[in-house]
Structure 1
Amino acid sequence: MTAKRPSACRRAQVSLLAISLLLAIGATPAAAEQASAAKAVDEELPATAQIDDDVNRGDIIIVTARRRQETAQEVPVAISVIRGDSIEATGNFNVVKLQQLAPTLQVYTTNPRNTSVNIRGIGVPFGLTSDGFEQGVGIYVDDVYNSRVAAATFDFLDVDQVEVLRGPQGTLYGKNTTAGAINITTNQPTFDFEGRAELSVGNLNYRQAKAAVSGPLTDRIAARIAIAATSRRGTLFNTRTDRWINEQDNLGLRGQLLFRPNDDLSITLAADYSQQDPECCGTAFVRVGPTQRALNRQYDAIIARLQAANPGYNYTVPSRNIYDRLTDIDASLKAGNKIGGASLRVKWDVGPGTLTSITAWRFWDWKPENDRDFTGASVVARSQNPSQQDQYSQELRYNYEGDRVDFVVGLFGFRQRIDTQGTEQQGIDAARYSLAPSTDPNNVYNRPEVLNGLTASNTQFLKADSAALYGQVSYKLTPALTIQPGIRINYDKKQGLYRRVVTTGSGQVITSCAPSATAGNAVLTAQCGVYQPQLTEPSVSDWNVSYDLNLNYKVAPDMLAYATYAKSFKTVGINQNGLPLDTNNQPVLSASTVKPESVDHFEIGLKTQLLNRLATFNLTAFRTEIKNFQATVNGGQFGTVRGYLANADKVVSQGIEADFKIRTSDRFTAYANGAYTDAKYQRFTNAPCPPELSGGTFQPANAAPDYSQPGIPGAPSPRQCDISGADLPGVSRWAFSYGAETNIPATLLAKEGQIYLGVDGNYRSHWNSNASPSIYTDVKGYALTNFRIGFRADGFDIFGWVRNAFDVEYIETLQVAPGNVGLIAGQPGDPRTWGGTVKFNF
């Protein structure tokens, strides 16, 4: 018997109950949260930093980018720091939304598993996700590395701040962080009692409740617990099921215990659990882009024949305008995501340095159901690839701070196991959708049973082990000039298994799709054209050495200039989702493993504070060259081999970033950030072709590829395409974010405080949503604007908000339907949303 999942409403009720309890506890004498936070900073900052912390001279932002606490302006690294209150005020409550505040961060998702997090256009291969490669953007929560992007798609819970570090960070941050790192710090237990509660409501049945309480259990033990629940109606209406889909249904819990036996030793035990269970993630019709397939085998012709062959079927797309937000996908949808774990962090001040140990275990349980044909026709009747992950990590590091020398040295160990059990099954319309039409009633095209029920069942696992020794030294050659070299020695080993078993609708196992097996057998030939049995057991290991050198010079007391060179590596990868096929319909075993990336990174930057530190202006220029870039390529077919890894010869990402913030007084603050990113395949001569150059009869093997007939039905198709010079997918050349807030003194309900008005927004220029850029998957640029107005006083904040205030229509991502039929589907961005939030601190 299957237990019913608690509704989002029930979760909201649980959170409201927690808030009520916390408010009741609030009668106990307690210091305000801001006072406690200030006290914590005062205890840990050096005296010089405390002197500079003058509200009339701007904010001091403390970061741990170099594994020690220091001000952001003193760190010779391009870094964006997003405070927890900014995250809450702007509604950016998870990693996916962060790109609205950090222009050089790109986050694209079709569901939690298929999420790409890139910095400056590089990091994770854009497209369908494989477990067999490493992410280039390390995601850390309280020093704990999250190995898969999907395992970090939880809602932010009781977050203090988020640091987005740009550029390679491998000599200090975890595994293969060739593009950067996202360092998330949560609020820690306190020995002063404090609490907070927050409730938000809005249109689309939006409900969000958060609560946290912290305080002493004894004079040596403190605890903190936080809870959050979010629910919202979906933004696409499925006419087939008569309900809204792509909803939000999230629940999160975090608990921490701090044991401080003396002033030199602290031990923190933390555990968290996050659950997401929405009906998600469906797509809607966007357009038809003609391919080189025969015209009678492209989307509109196929749909017309389905209608003619099924009286009363009358299949038609509910709308050809995606912004009508209508779809009719018929397969069941689910995006069940359970994430959690526990960690033990020990910090021990030993003489002039600090010894830190972080021991962690994390799990990720993914239960999806998808509609892989993106239509209301029963082509793919079932598609799901549930996965279970366990990861264990141990880090031990020592920080030393002296008058002229600071250094960090550490050891990092990691072990991961991922198991996946996949199923994809063809439906009753598959034969007429995928096979060449024929008037012969006995032809496989006119026999739905040939493909109906055809099933590909795959079993796969990945074992990954990694170990590293790293270190970084800062040496002051003069009071103004510092040299900072770093090194990391890394070992990785990966072992995988991929087994695909193909069965017909009658349950018969297909043992081979070799030409000798299919010769003269039209039924088997048709079935093997969709799914083929496979077995691969890749295993690979690799050593690499990363290093960097940073020179930084204090030009003036409030001006820091720096230059960095970094040599970094992303370790070897294996293809875990099956392999592409050769001309004999057999797996290409040479594609089992993928070469490591080799990265050369150059960066110069200037950090300044102006107007008596009321303003901050930072400027960065960078160039990153990657050899053997690990790219996701798409074969355009059904089955579990929808995308696989391949090496592009060379990729270059270069650009300029600028960050400006000003606080003229306690009454006005503003910021503006911008980035220009030029990220290209400098050399990729054997890439899969985009849809407009696919689907036709292959051009001769030894002939030079002919690209002159894109989108011409029946034209011959290149076997592969040279996309050298093309932009990397997912990258906007121009990106900006901005915000401002002003306030005036006011009194409300006998409370003295401030009435405030805030605005924030972001802009991204156009970008392409296909691994091989296509004229059909170019996503137009867009600008979003948000407003908020409210009243805040000591311990109290109430405000109304509107997001995407001008109801801008924009696309989050586009997808090419399999089979080269020309269908392009996508997910529209959120429409205008509005609501209100009330927060209490005590």
Structure 2
Amino acid sequence: MIRVQRTLPARLLLAGASATALASGMPAIAQDTTGDEEALTIDTIVVTARRRDESIVEVPIAVSTFDADKLDMRGALDITALQRNTPNLTLQVSRGTNSTLTAFIRGVGQQDPLWGFEPGVGLYVDDIYIARPQGAILDIFDIERIEVLRGPQGTLYGRNTIGGAVKYVTRRLGQEPTFKVRTNLGNYEQRDLVASGSVPLGDKVALGAAIGWYNRDGYGTNHFTGAETNNKKSFAARLTLEATPSENLFFRLSADRTDDDSNANHGHREAAVPADWAVLPAVLPGYSPSAQPVPAGAFPVQANKYDTWAGLGDDNEVITQGLSGLVEWTLSDSLVFKSITAYRDGVTHGTGIDFDGTPAPILDISAGGSVYDDHQFSQELQLVIQRESWSGILGAYYLDALATGQYDTVLGIGAAAIPGVPTPHLTQGTSGEVDTKSIALFGDFDFDLGERWNLSLGGRWTRDKKEGTVFKANYLGLGSPISGATSSILIQTLTDYTRELTFEEFTPRVSLSYALADDMNVYAAYSRGFKSGGFDMRGDATATPATQEGYEPETVDSFEIGLKGNVLDGRLSFAGAIFHTLYDGQQVTSQQVNQSGTGVVSFVDNVGSSTINGAELEATAWFSNAFSVDFALGYVDAKFDEYLAYAPVGGSYVQVDVADQRQFQNTPEWNGNVALNYTVDMDTRGTLALRGALSFRSSINMFETPVPAIDQPAYELLDASIVWTAANEKWRVGIHGRNLTNERYRTGAYNFPGLAFGDSIIGFYGAPRTIFASIEYRY
């Protein structure tokens, strides 16, 4: 939780300043008047980043905390907004989707959102680990706070993650009735309605509910179907029941569901069709291609980066839902037992990807048979210990997750050899599943070594057992039996296996911190991260027989030195860190056209090792009670020491070290933001808060192999907010502008160049300039 306190020692006063520097764009200060003088009083924020109450300055972890009020003040609608305010963080919508999350921290993340591929950044909702990125673009409503922890996590949280963790925490209900409703109205016909409330059912039980209804027209148009592109149409709901039968017992039961019906996102074609193509009549459900040949230069590159000519169809549906239960039993003043039980499932229907961006089925992932389906059950047990000179946590974790998927890849074999004669098509049908069973034991302890020294020790033992089933085959015709096509002819079975692998690892963590003063703390920390191996769901066993053996785990050894402090009588707070990371066994997905030019070969391999060095600085300066400046800067120098890539040699593929030709994806060298905040106190008429923020990111590679045609150059985004809050805090009206300079920047891409696939180079772009007004009432 985040608690606000008033009269605390100076060392805890720093926590409020430091937390606010990380969390908000508004000063965490109040005015205390003595006679005619005004004094600064810093609100102290206590966080639970390590599963126990601590001031943020004393936590030997690089952590950024965003509370609900500050996110509301800056008009943040979903968790991707955190990327603009957190150093060395990438949170974006994955290419070809509307609600799948791409997450990287300090160069480590999930390179491939395919089913069964483990994320490198852990996402938690109320301590429930979200195993898959589909449906993980969480809308921000009815929350208490969001925490971003950078670096490996595993001694405190349910699932080990090697890059870091994002914690989405909803608020507890309490025993007072509450109600809040907000509407957002903006350009592109944005129409949102968010409401939440709770009511006590007696003095020991409370019931709460929250809904979010989001609607927005698209940023562009599909010129072939007439449908909108990059629109939003989703509904989210949460129901919570809390009970406190005695002072020592607390129960919480929660259910949630999100249904996203936004149109499919096919992306923007970046190059014209290079030569004549002929097109077969429609065969697959969802296809409506023209039966006429496609001439060279057809479907020219559109000026609007959100427009497309995609002929694959526009229907799309992503449903995620879950049920969880929390039990907290206070055994004594120093012992608390917790049980966290959860079940979640998600399904994605109709998410086809039109790689070629034309009505022709030149290179498509068919929508008719494309399905992702995930189920997970988790159980976590914790014992939290709080003693006078030491504290800690002991835990056990179990996860049973099943991820399944299937799709067809439709490939044109080549440009039409004879004008007017239809081009033959090849379909690669792919299906499979990964069943993961994981058990872990973990612990983390803090020891006070005198007045100023503190030692923290932690460790985790993890055992992951995975069973993978993969099927892949080539068919002549549009579609395969996977998508319901009955006339296609089986040419060759490429992959057909079921295999089981077990991975086991112990990962330690240690930190030593020293209080340089009551309001300044320095720490040094080491932690090891682990991500288990698995199976390539796209693997082609004829091209690379080793795919049937699966790929191995990857590990991270992270070394970090940090300094958190408060100077100038609390007017300047800061948190800085430098880190050195050794990344081994890195799992990377790559895809390329096979040697015959008639198909796409996928590889998921442990490409080798890399070294990541970097630094982070976050600061807030208060120039007065009314005016403050926030600043954040991140730097990452990530280089491959070894990169073993597959290359075609003599009819097969062999691994070659190409480390000097590869770069990290989704990891800008420089990133940061600066924000100016000014508050006008209008006495009984309330307060007016003004904020202007500029965020920037240096050039970004979309894949490990540099591709100038799709890699994103450096860019800046300008945001601004004006928010009026009534004196009684019941009403709030705001106007929020994001990307005010209307910058066009890629967040993802696909790259299949050349005549064989019609120069299928596709870009996916972040939101253009959006302006909306919010009106909120609280009771």
Q: Same fold (TM over 0.5)?
A: yes
Identical aligned residues as a percent? 26
Out of 629, 654, 658, the residue aligned to residue 613 of structure 2 is 654
- Who is 2:340 aligned against? 358
**C-alpha deviation, 1:438, in angstroms:** 4.2
Matched to 1:402, the amino acid is R
In 2, are the aligned partners of 1:211 and 1:228 still within 8 Å (CA)? yes
How much does 1:49 deviate? 5.5
Tell me the equivalent position of 1:117.
Answer: 103
Equivalent residue for 1:403? 388
Residue 539 of structure 1 corresponds to which residue in structure 2? 500
Distance apart, 1:590 and its partner CA: 4.3
Does structure 2 retain, via aligned residues, the 8 Å contact 1:112–1:335?
no
Measured after TM superposition, the shift of residue 270 of structure 1 is 0.8
How do residues 178-577 of structure 1 correspond to structure 2 at under 5 angstroms?
178-287=162-271, 299-302=273-276, 316-320=297-301, 322-323=303-304, 325-351=306-332, 352-367=334-349, 368-380=351-363, 383-384=366-367, 385-425=370-410, 430-433=412-415, 438=417, 448=422, 450-451=424-425, 454-505=426-477, 532-577=493-538
Among candidates 718, 721, 725, match of residue 792 of structure 1: 725
Matches within 5 A, 1:574-589: 574-579=535-540, 581-582=542-543, 587-589=544-546
Q: Per the alignment, do residues 718 and 502 of structure 1 end up closer, same or farther by CA in structure 2, a change over 3 Å counting?
A: closer
Assess if the C-alpha contact under 8 Å between 2:188 and 2:218 holds in 1: yes
Q: Distance in 1 between matches of 2:769 and 2:701?
A: 24
Which one is further off, 623-632 or 564-573? Answer: 564-573
Q: How far apart in 1 are the matches of 2:374 and 2:494? A: 25
CA distance in 2 between partners of 1:610 and 1:48 (Å): 12
CA distance in 2, matches of 1:115, 1:578: 23
Instruction: Measure the CA separation in 1 of the matches of 2:700 and 2:52.
Output: 37
- Aligned in 2, Cα 1:312/1:280: closer, same or farther, shift over 3 Å? closer
| Corresponding residue for residue 780 of structure 1 | 713
Describe the shift of the 1:325–1:416 C-alpha distance in structure 2 as closer, same or farther (beyond 3 A). closer
Give the TM-score, by structure 1 length: 0.81
Displacement of 1:727 in angstroms is 2.1
Shift of 1:577: 2.5
* Cα shift at 1:466: 0.2
What letter corresponds to residue 342 of structure 1 in structure 2? L
Per-residue deviation, 1:336: 1.3
**Equivalent position of 1:811 in the other structure:** 746
Change (3 A) 1:508 1:70: closer
What is the correspondence of 1:60-99 to structure 2 with a 5 Å cutoff?
Answer: 60-99=44-83
Aligned-residue offset at 1:151? 4.0
- Spell out, residue by residue over 1:383-412, the C-alpha distance to the aligned partner (whole angstroms, 9 max, x if none): 143121110000001111112111111000
Which residue identity lines up with residue 326 of structure 1 in the other structure?
D
Q: 1:41 to 1:790 in 2, by over 3 A?
A: closer
Is 1:687–1:723's contact at 8 Å kept on the other side of the alignment?
Answer: no
- Separation in 2 of the partners of 1:326 and 1:317? 15
Task: Tell whether 2:96 aligns with 1:163.
Answer: no
Amino acid at match of 2:768: P
Q: Name whichever structure is richer in strand by fraction.
A: 2
Q: Which amino acid aligns with 1:90?
A: R
2: distance between equivalents of 1:640 and 1:359? Answer: 44
Structure holding more helix per residue: 1
* Helix, strand or coil at the partner of 1:499: strand
Residues 600-621 of structure 1 deviation map (CA, whole Å, 9 limit, x = unaligned): 1110000001233333111100
Match 1:678 to one of 637, 646, 652: 637
Change (3 A) 1:548 1:239: same
Query: In structure 1, what residue type is equivalent to 2:104?
Result: N
Paired letter, 1:781:
A
Q: Which letter maps to 1:220? A: K
Q: Distance in 2 between matches of 1:674 and 1:71?
A: 23
User: Contact 2:495 / 2:542 at 8 angstroms: preserved in 1?
Assistant: no
CA contact (8 A) 2:185 2:772 kept: yes
What residue in structure 1 maps to residue 34 of structure 2? none
Q: Distance in 2 between matches of 1:509 and 1:155?
A: 37
CA shift for structure 1 position 243: 2.8
Partners of 1:599 and 1:627 within 8 A in 2: yes
Does structure 2 conserve the Cα–Cα contact (< 8 Å) formed by 1:135 and 1:176?
no
- The change in CA–CA distance for 1:186 and 1:354 in structure 2 (over 3 A counts) is same
Aligned AA (1:335)? N
1:767 matched residue in structure 2:
700
Q: Which AA in structure 2 matches 1:598?
A: T
> C-alpha separation between the residues in 2 aligned to 1:48 and 1:607?
11
> What letter corresponds to residue 786 of structure 1 in structure 2?
D
Deviations 1:501-546 (A, max 9, x none): 5444499999xxxxxxxxxxxx99xx96xx7542121210011100
Could you tell me how far apart the structure 2 residues matched to 1:758 and 1:508 are?
A: 54
Residue pair 1:113, 1:150 contacting (<8 A) in 2 also? yes
Aligned position for 1:603: 560
Q: CA 1:203/1:580 → structure 2, altered by over 3 Å: closer, same or farther? A: farther
Alpha-carbon separation, structure 1, partners of 2:615 and 2:239:
41
Q: Where in structure 2 are there 5+ consecutive unaligned residues?
A: 17-28, 31-39, 281-289, 483-487
Write the letter of the residue equivalent to 2:766: G
Q: Distance in 2 between matches of 1:114 and 1:800?
A: 28
- CA distance in structure 2 between the partners assigned to 1:232 and 1:390 by the alignment: 30
Contact 1:343 1:359 in 2 (8 A): yes
Alignment correspondent of 2:686: 753
What CA deviation, in whole Å up to 9, does each residue of 1:435-460 have, x standing for no partner?
A: xx646x9xxxx853742xx5444331
Name whichever of 81-90 and 180-189 sits farther off.
81-90
Amino acid paired to 1:549: V
1:708 is matched with: none
Against the structure 1 CA distance between its residues 359 and 95, is the aligned structure 2 distance closer, same or farther, given a 3 Å change threshold? same
SS at match of 1:459: strand
The equivalent residue for 1:629 is 586
Q: Cα distance, 1:305 vs. partner?
A: 11
- SS state at 1:88 partner: helix
Deviations 1:44-73 (A, max 9, x none): x99996998773333323322111122222
CA distance in structure 1 between the aligned counterparts of 2:266 and 2:71, rounded to whole angstroms = 27
Structure 2 vs 1, CA of residues 114 and 447 (structure 1 numbering), >3 Å: closer, same or farther? farther
Cα distance in 1 for partners of 2:581, 2:629 equals 31
State the alpha-carbon separation in 2 of the partners of residues 745 and 42 from structure 1: 22
Cα 1:315/1:447, change in 2 over 3 Å: closer
Q: Counterpart of 2:763?
A: 826
Aligned equivalents of 1:740 and 1:228: distance in 2?
Answer: 30
**How far off its partner does 1:595 sit?**
1.1
Partner SS, residue 458 of structure 2:
strand
Distance in 2 of aligned mates of 1:113 and 1:589: 33
C-alpha distance in 2 between matches for 1:177 and 1:784 = 30
Q: In the aligned structure 2, how far is the partner of 1:46 from the partner of 1:142? A: 30
Q: For residue 130 of structure 1, what is the amino acid of its counterpart?
A: L
**CA distance in 2 between partners of 1:135 and 1:71 (Å):** 29
RMSD across aligned positions (CA): 3.2
Q: Does 1:802 align with 2:737?
A: yes
C-alpha separation between the residues in 1 aligned to 2:428 and 2:366?
10
SS, match of residue 808 in structure 1: coil
